[in-house]
Amino acid sequence: MHIPDGYLDLNVTLLCAAVSAVFIVLGLLQAKRYMEERHVPLMAILTAGVFAAQLLNFPIVGGTSGHLVGGTLLSVFLGPLGALISMTIILVLQAFLFGDGGVSALGANIFNMGVIGGIVGYYLYVLIRRLVRKGGWGVRLGAAVGSYVSIVLGAAACGVEIGASSLFPFGVGVTVPVMVGWHLVIGVGEALITVVVIEYVLRARPDMLALPKIGFSGLLRKLKAEEVERAEKAELEAVTGKTVGRD
């Protein structure tokens, strides 16, 4: 799904870069407010893991490439904007150090994998978790659906971007079906891997899933410490299905 240099014209490049930049700025502002020391090692491990997983990709004729994304997996632990920050780091390093994804296409790649993968995937996860309301089962199902849907939507967006570009030889009638078709299959693997990771964490360290999320909460008004703690306890109860003791 990494779009290389030379695929997007100036209009598509600037539009994607502008949209992604808005979300990145919001993410950095929220991280400055709510990111704690305990987030740092977890973010580093997750970022490194997703970075390595994305390097295993294959070319798609009439599209770009196919691979695992990991946006929803990141967001389940870090929150939607935390996942976006992590994905931005991954894509910048891949573009500048490995030539995987173009520098000029960073805005589009961040939008497809960070904004759609992290933010859309996260809210699908939360919605399904709340609907199921069966502790860990809601978490598992929500993570699986969020991962699957977000990677397919990201692939569709990628197909639209390159197909709408005047520089690419194929139109959206080719690029969208090709990208979506392959990622309908890849999405199954993405969902399975996400659930396996979540399953292990639920058994070993469910508290890792309850860290304060770096998202849109408190964007207009900084949350107080007790509000953050209350949200963290509510998250842990939702993840485990058990009541957490109140102070």
- Low-confidence residues in the chain, pLDDT < 50: 246-247
pLDDT tens across 23-59, in order?
A: 999 999 999 988 988 899 999 999 999 999 988 887 8
Residue 29 covered by a domain: yes
In this predicted structure, what is the pLDDT of residue 244?
57
In this predicted structure, what is the pLDDT of residue 247?
44
In this predicted structure, what is the pLDDT of residue 59?
81
Which SS3 state, helix, strand or coil, does residue 152 take? Answer: helix
In this predicted structure, what is the pLDDT of residue 132?
87
Distance, in Å, from the CA atom of 113 to the CA atom of 88, rounded to the nearest integer, reads 9
- Asked if 151 and 131 count as a contact pair (C-beta separation under 8 A), the reply is no
List the CATH number of the domain containing 153: 1.10.1760.20
222 is written with which tokens?
């900084």
Residue 68 covered by a domain: yes
What total number of domains does the chain contain?
1
Residue 245 covered by a domain: no
Residue 161 covered by a domain: yes
| Alpha helices (H) in 79-211, listed in sequence order | 80-93, 106-110, 121-132, 136-164, 172-204
**Running DSSP on this structure, what letter comes out for residue 210?**
G
Distance, in Å, from the CA atom of 216 to the CA atom of 81, rounded to the nearest integer, reads 7
Give the predicted TM-score (pTM) of the model. 0.91
Distance, in Å, from the CA atom of 126 to the CA atom of 35, rounded to the nearest integer, reads 20
Residue 1 covered by a domain: no
Range of the domain at 137: 10-237
Residue 152 covered by a domain: yes
- Asked if 154 and 1 count as a contact pair (C-beta separation under 8 A), the reply is yes
In this predicted structure, what is the pLDDT of residue 246?
46
**Running DSSP on this structure, what letter comes out for residue 206?**
G
Distance, in Å, from the CA atom of 238 to the CA atom of 247, rounded to the nearest integer, reads 18
Residue 118 covered by a domain: yes
Residue 108 covered by a domain: yes
